[in-house]
Structure 1
Amino acid sequence: MKTYNLLYKQEGDVTRFVEEKGIEDTPRLLVQVFTGVPERRYIENLQRELEKLFNKAGVIGTSTGGEIFNGEVYENSTVLSFTVFERAWVKTALVEGADALRTGRELVGRILDEDTKLMIIFADGLNTNGDDLIDAINEEAQSVPVVGGLAGDNFTFKGTYVFTSRDVTDRGVVGASVNTDKLQISTHYNLAWVPVGKGMVVTRTAGNRIYEIEGKPVVEVYKSYLGAEAEELLPYVAIEFPLVLERDGVMLARACLGIAEDGSMLYTGVIKEGEKVRFSIWDTGVMLDSAAENLKKFRSNPSESVFVYTCLARKYLIGGEAEVESKHLQSVSPTSGFMTYGEFYNLDGKNRFMNYTFTAVSLSEREFTQNSEGQELEEEPGRDLIRFRALVSLVNTITGELKDANDKLERLAERDPLTGLYNRRKMIALLEEQIRRTERYGKSFCVLMVDIDNFKLINDTYGHQKGDEVLKGMAQALRELLRSTDLYSRWGGEEFLVVMPETEIEGGTAVAEKLRVGVRGFFNRKLGMDISVSVGLTAYRDGDCIEGLLSRADRAMYRAKKKGKNLVVVS
């Protein structure tokens, strides 16, 4: 295979270039077009020239936030990459629509072949949900690696386009499959954004919108961390401090696209309720280290063409430094690509939607090892970089210390100091959450009110120290006898409350009986004392409030006492 890159300047350039290089119109030709002019009329003019030249070749294109030509980054230009395969053949398609699940499935259905080794996919950057698109592709072809990204428009957020030689859309996806019996593929990516500050739980979302973080309006969270003045610069200032999260062991970043009228913030990918996010800042040192690693990897593996799909935010924030990652790859193989609004990448055998990352793929149809000679990346860390890393370390160390202190305070606030079990306040919060889950998902739960029989007599006979020993023993018995999914607390005095999620009354009765019998055996073994419990059991009923639920359990427990103790009574 061989790749030729063209920096397009005027009409007729493609025709002259194709004739000069002897490029033929065959199914073994892949043409990628990266244009920094996100205007439909401009693209249609370019298409007319392409359509005249290519009927059999696979042509896919995208608008960009920056174009990569022979490793160098350009702006407001157009770059064409012509890859001529020796054995592989190319199949392309464009699918219109904003429903990424549908367009993803349809695209794969139209370009996937039994010999597909790689799919290069571009999608519009303002209407397509990158996570949904990748999920749909993985449903149909998870074993096939995907590269590419979301189209850009230089952060104007007015319109992004993807196209073939004939069709163009601002709502949809275009893709090319590379089909052959053998293809050498090497990939590399890096994030280079460093998390700072504490993790924050995302508490309300809808699709790719976030409404609340830690129960607060998302815009207020940005104002709290970035300053009140930052609100006027949203969403642009948010680009500089992306939210990062860990999913499946992989650190991901998410780019903010804008603020909706309802106050939610829109992101290029999905952040799920319950996930923890942190703000992050750029680390040039990480980028340089990763660029050197990438260069070494691609030189030591077969490589005849390199394609780069990297986030526009990197160019926006670090300017010329963004070129460091791609310009050295030209010494390995012809290098082209574009600045995206989000990247598609295969990591650990799974296709993923990324943001803020540099991704690169090296292709070769031959099995040989590149000469490792060539220009090396030897960027020594300067004083400013050393200061920056020290600042990041300082911030994260202080954040870690504060988190440890807050964790200790939280444990004190929610734990009973004698037994170490949850206290009443924490258990009420867990009960409220359990009721919400039951109302949403329809799965019932049971509650046990457990009281130590004759506890006052134990205190009066053996003293309060022995009484405390019994209470701590009861806590240990609960840990040993209950299920891992059960929740339990010291409710007060000698009373303990147990919540059994997703448990009907029959299952709750079995657990309660096991607990009643087990407690007696536990104290016989551990303290040589005959201690029993009375248990009141009830299940959640539609419309129950906490007070009504606990009142039933409490009444059932007192009936067990009146019936002679050491009993389970169901209400």
Structure 2
Amino acid sequence: MIKTISYVYKNTDDLKNLIEDNVLYEYPNIFIQIFSSNIDLVELEKIQETIRTSLPLAKVMGCTTSGDIVEGSFVKEKISISFTIFEKTKIDSSLFYVKDYENIREMGKSIVAKLCGADTKALILFSSPSSVDLQPLLDSIDEEKQDITLAGGIAGEKDSFREGIIFNEEESTNEGIVAVSLNNSDLQVQTFTNFKFQEVGKSFKITKAIGNTIVSIDKKKPSKVLESYLGKDFLEQIKLQRNDFPFLLGTKDKSTPIWITNLLEDGTVTVNHPISEGDSLVFAYAHLKEIIDNSLRELKRLSKQNVETIFAYNCSSRKRMLHEFAADEMRMLNSIAPTNGFFANGEISTENGKPQLVGHALTFLALSENKKKLSNRKIDFQYHIPDSVKTIVTLTHLMRASQADLEILNDHAQISEQYYRSLFDNNTDIVYSTDLDGNISSVNPAFEKLLGYKKEELLGKSALKYINKEDIPRVRTHFYSALKGKEQYYNIEVSSKTGENNLLHLKNIPITVNGECVGIYGIGRNITEQKKIEDKIIQLAYYDQDTGLPNRIRFSERLTELLQNAKKTKRKLALMVIDMDRFKIINDSLGHDAGDEILKGISERIQAAIPGGAFLGRFNGDKFTLILSKNVSIEAVIKIANSILRQVGAPIHYSGQEFYVSASIGVSLYPTDGTDEMTLMKNADIAMNRSKSQGGNRLTLYSNDMNEEALKRLELESYLRKALQKDEFFLCYQPLIDLKSGKLYGSEALIRWNHPLLGLVSPGDFIPLAEETGLIEEIGSWVLRTACKQNKLWQQKGLKNITVSVNVSANQFQQTKFVAEVTRALEKSGLEPKYLTLELTESTMLRNIDHSIEVMKSLQKLGVRVSIDDFGTGYSSLSYLKDLPIDHLKIDRSFINNLRIDTSDIAIVKAIITMSHGLAVKVVAEGVETEEQIELLKKLKCHYAQGFFLHRPLTSEDFEKVLIG
């Protein structure tokens, strides 16, 4: 099984906490990928040091990037770290310096020799950008090792493909390769590369080339050709290290996408791929439709596979030029399996068994250690392509059509002009142009129709005249950016001649003539009605019209989402139903309109009373529903509910009158009171009705069989108050066995209640009640005295070194007289303190940690031993544990019940025992029920055990018969 943990770095302390919280140091096979779009080498060295210290077995590879991918989402100017835990896969890694090899092919051979073996299934490479000729290296690796999958990419820095650093856990360089091999013959590896280009414009011939340098195109300097066809702005983009516009390189065998890596001072250009004289070049652009089709096919195929993690290496140009598409693609990949990676400036892919360097592509590795086939899971994969991207597609088609027009124009200028006018005049979208000052120079009929002006009224006027004043600074920014050659997309309201506002989605592009910008084109579509309909549909479908709160449908969807998240994170969730008491009186006396107005005010009061992150909805009528998903506890729920009751109960002023309203609140908790939406809603409603039946203006927490339970508790409380007086309590003793010797070590005293009418009453029923009523202190004192007295009697009968363990409640432990009470029990019984162990739960100790430590120190000074009971089920705060003066630690039975050689519980138990040995604390395992568990505990060096397999709890008489007699 493979598990990936994704993390956006904050600081080294936070990183250490993540490692501790996830117990990452327990795993021998961890592959860590670090991507830094925030170039901070000092911080990077701190991260390397932290990982070397905390995870010495982990293998690290990373690089600087122009952006990170964290669980399918884009992250910029951050450092992201993914921890991939393999169960069966061995990971090898190394960093290779260019200077250490005579040529790049020798480096490829060295990588295979050092990292690859018979069971290697995949090889991941991150390359520095300017010093490594990657394709020959990939060819060399393929010649040496043909049965592995290669993936990875070229590092960068903020869209730079000439700068970048690669590193592992110890070193970093801007001239080399960092490589990691995944070694497991059973590892399931799937890869996919998605790129498709369409040609734009005429084909050129390379007339002179040296290696990766193009010296001339059609016997002209490359810079002149580029300037002639793409303008000076494009040359500036190259200087800024942008690679958004590739070529297709045509050879005898195939077409390969390449891009310019540098514009040299002599007018020649270098590219990312070797070229030869006679090769052809053509401008190219992403063929979005085919890319989408390919992506959807792969997503559907992959969703039917057993995939546990995905490493994605995406092109930085995709993030810039096709941002929404790239975001959707990553999001949908992440819905299949956790997806992490970075935006590269060249991607390594494996297609048809051959590794190659590609560009403007997505390549990924989908991995699994599980061979089981999945049942068909249905995921709706769909791209939501915004108008901005559609406009890019339209523009690409326009560019190709324009090229055809230009070719015709060479022979048929008049026909070409007619094509242009047809495109301009008959376009249903608005098209206009302005000069360098922003004055309108041309408009098409669609523009005239939309604004209601004649062309003559518009020409020469400032385009800013037709927009709202507050939008002018924003539009000016877009205008000047377009003049600099940067395409602009934005929505803007435009006023017509009649004063009607229309929402337009606009694109601005520069108009370039003879290499100089002379103005801009604007291409737009009226989306006013579309936006109104979309907003209205969302509002009607998901929100209450009176209060503006999410309605029942939206609330239900959100509850389902939060329940799924709670199940994954194993966190609690509270559902609260808030119903107004006797609100019908207001509706009947003031009318429903007034009632709706008052309910709106009440909804605002409730919102003021709830914490951030809570989700409030209007269920129906005068009933509201609330989800609490952060830091959920009974205390927090009660505090929030009381705040709501106070806010709702404040005086309401309406039409000169003062009204008072109260609310009944019912709460159900996940997972205690239900694990699905329907059950939680039903139980919260039942609890709310209980509040109403008790007079309203109160909170009720749901419990099963609420009516019967309430009566039963009242009766039980009455009997409980007399149980000590009537001598109805007795103790049973469950033996504790020394696992090393197999001999009796001691016993745990367990209270039992034999009522003359009820019979034996479960401790689970009366102990919580005793705690609530305060009787637990008196009962606890009786247990302590009785257990000490009985243990001393057994010692006198021959069990000389036997100990007794007594459970101490939180209330009893927090009493100031507790240590004195223990002292009296020991003195009265004559039992030596070292034979008494007091068992405390984690929550008891951590309730007031400073006081707890002082009390425990006093007990140890007295000679009494202290034990943590039910360890692992409470707070499990390791930071406190090391400071607690304890002698024993008892592993909770929930970890022992399923303890078998092939379960995850054994790892937890082993960790607890190992930790305890390190703290010099004895370990007790409770709930042992099988011989297999006994043998496993012995192997794990657990000290003591108790459970039904060894002995059930015995009365004092049976204890003597079995263990003494």
Q: TM-score range by the shorter chain?
A: 0.5 to 0.7
Q: 1:264 to 1:77 in 2, by over 3 A?
A: same
Alignment of 1:289 with 2:277, yes or no, is: no
Partner letter of residue 121 of structure 2?
K
Query: Given that residues 124 and 160 in structure 1 are in contact (C-alpha distance below 8 angstroms), is that contact kept between their aligned partners in structure 2?
Result: yes
Q: Does structure 1 residue 218 correspond to structure 2 residue 222? A: yes
Give me the TM-score of the superposition, normalised by structure 1: 0.65
**Residue 256 of structure 1: how far off its partner (Å):** 2.0
Cα gap change, 1:276 to 1:367, in 2 (>3 Å): same
Partner of 2:35: 34
Query: Which amino acid in 1 is paired with 2:185?
Result: D
Residue in 2 that maps onto 1:15: 16
Preserved contact between residue 208 and residue 267 of structure 1 (Cα < 8 Å):
yes
In the TM superposition, what is the alpha-carbon distance from 1:372 to its structure 2 partner?
A: 4.6
- Is the contact between residue 303 and residue 370 of structure 1 (CA under 8 Å) also seen in structure 2? no
Query: What are the Cα deviations for residues 45-94 of structure 1, in whole angstroms up to 9, with x where unaligned?
Result: 21111111232222111111110000101111112121221211011010
Q: How does 1:211-290 map to 2 (within 5 A)?
A: 211-236=215-240, 239-246=243-250, 251-290=255-294
Q: Deviations over 1:471-523 (max 9, x none)?
A: xxxxxxxxxxxxxxxxxxxxxxxxxxxxxxxxxxxxxxxxxxxxxxxxxxxxx
Separation of aligned partners in 1, 2:121 and 2:4 = 18
SS in structure 1 of the partner of residue 147 of structure 2: coil
Give the Å deviation of 1:41. 2.6
One-letter amino acid of the structure 1 residue matched with residue 126 of structure 2? F
Corresponding residue for residue 107 of structure 2: 103
Query: Which residues of 2 match residues 42-441 of structure 1 at below 5 A?
Result: 42-97=43-98, 99-156=103-160, 159-236=163-240, 239-246=243-250, 251-370=255-374, 372-373=376-377, 375-379=379-383, 389=393, 392-393=396-397, 395-396=399-400
Cα distance in 1, alignment partners of residues 154 and 161 from structure 2? 13
| CA–CA distance in structure 2, aligned partners of residues 280 and 377 of structure 1 | 28
Q: Is 2:159–2:242's contact at 8 Å kept on the other side of the alignment? A: no
Separation in structure 2 between the aligned mates of residue 22 and residue 371 of structure 1, nearest angstrom: 32
Partner of 1:488 in structure 2?
none
Identity of aligned residues (%): 26
For 1:257-294, what per-residue CA distance to the aligned partner results, in whole angstroms no more than 9, with x for missing partners?
Answer: 22123332222333333322211123443443333223
Distance, in Å, in 1 between the alignment partners of 2:159 and 2:407 is 36
Report what 2:602 is aligned to.
none
Question: In structure 2, do the counterparts of structure 1 residues 201 and 288 end up closer, same or farther at CA, with 3 Å as the change threshold?
Answer: same
Q: Is the 8 A contact 1:210 1:218 kept in 2?
A: yes
1:442 match: none
Q: Contact between 1:28 and 1:84, CA under 8 Å: does it hold in 2?
A: yes
The AA in structure 1 aligned to 2:273 is: G
Supply the distance in 2 between the matched residues of 1:259 and 1:115 (Cα, whole angstroms): 44
Per mean C-alpha deviation after superposition, the further-off stretch among 106-115 and 38-47 is 38-47
Tell me the SS of whatever aligns to 1:9.
coil
Assess if the C-alpha contact under 8 Å between 1:34 and 1:80 holds in 2: yes
Q: Secondary structure at the match of 1:223?
A: helix
1:17 counterpart letter in structure 2: L
The residue type paired with residue 80 of structure 1 is I
Looking at CA atoms only, which structure, 1 or 2, has the larger radius of gyration? 2
One-letter code of the match for 2:362?
Answer: F
Q: Which amino acid aligns with 2:289?
A: G
- Residue 345 (structure 1) shift: 0.6
Larger mean CA deviation between 200-209 and 375-384 belongs to: 375-384
SS of the residue 1:24 aligns to: helix
Contact 1:285 1:385 in 2 (8 A): no
Which deviations, in whole Å up to 9, do the C-alpha atoms of 1:338-382 show, x marking residues without a partner?
Answer: 000111110011011111111111111112334554542323666
**Contact 2:241-2:261 within 8 A present in 1 as well:** no
- Structure 2 contact 300–381 (Cα < 8 Å) conserved: no
Contact 2:6 2:81 in 1 (8 A): yes
Summarize the Cα distance change of 1:279–1:100 in structure 2 as closer, same or farther, 3 Å threshold: same
In structure 2, the partner of 1:447 is none
Structure 1: which 5+ residue stretches go unaligned? 407-571
- Equivalent residues of 1:104, 1:134 under 8 A apart: yes
Amino acid at match of 2:133: N
- What amino acid maps onto 2:46 in structure 1? N
The alignment partner of 1:103 has SS state of: helix
TM-superposed CA distance for 1:193, in Å, is: 3.5
Post-superposition CA distance 1:372-422 (Å, at most 9, x none): 54542323666666665565456546767998999xxxxxxxxxxxxxxxx
Residues in 1 aligned to 2:9 and 2:292: alpha-carbon distance in whole angstroms: 30
Inter-CA distance 385–85: structure 2 relative to 1 (3 Å threshold): closer
**Per-residue deviation at 1:336?**
0.2
Instruction: Give distance in 2, aligned partners of 1:203 and 1:79.
Output: 45
The AA in structure 2 aligned to 1:95 is: F
Q: What RMSD over aligned residues (CA atoms) do the two structures have, in Å?
A: 2.8
Offset, 1:39: 4.0
Q: Work out whether residues 251 and 280 of structure 2, in 8 Å CA contact, stay in contact via their aligned partners in 1.
A: no
Report how far residue 334 of structure 1 moved. Answer: 0.9
Q: Is the 8 A contact 1:35 1:79 kept in 2?
A: yes
Partners of 1:53 and 1:180 lie apart in 2 by: 25
Between the aligned partners of 1:362 and 1:248, the Cα distance in structure 2 is 33
> Which aligned pairs between 1:419-498 and structure 2 lie closer than 5 A?
none
1: CA distance, partners of 2:355 / 2:154: 15
Q: Does structure 2 retain, via aligned residues, the 8 Å contact 1:185–1:362?
A: yes
The answer (yes or no) to whether the contact 1:254–1:356 under 8 Å persists in 2 is no
* Number of residue pairs matched by the alignment: 406
**Cα 1:400/1:297, change in 2 over 3 Å:** farther
Residues 312 and 339, structure 2, Cα contact 8 Å, conserved in 1: yes
Deviations 1:104-126 (A, max 9, x none): 32222211111111001111122
Distance 1:229 1:371 in 2: 53
**Aligned-partner Cα distance in 1 for 2:362–2:252:** 19
Contact 1:103 1:173 in 2 (8 A): no
Matched position secondary structure for 1:307: strand
Once residues 9 and 291 of structure 2 are traced to their aligned partners in structure 1, the CA distance between those partners, rounded to angstroms, is 30
What secondary structure sits across from 1:239 in the alignment? coil
Q: In 2, distance between residues paired with 1:44 and 1:303?
A: 33
Q: Does 2:6 match 1:5?
A: yes
CA distance in 2, matches of 1:320, 1:380: 8
Q: Which amino acid aligns with 1:82?
A: F
- Deviation of 1:101 after TM superposition, in Å, equals 2.9
- AA aligned to 2:247 is L
Displacement after TM superposition at 1:43 (Å): 2.0
Distance, in Å, in 1 between the alignment partners of 2:161 and 2:241 is 15
- Structure 2 letter corresponding to 1:3: T
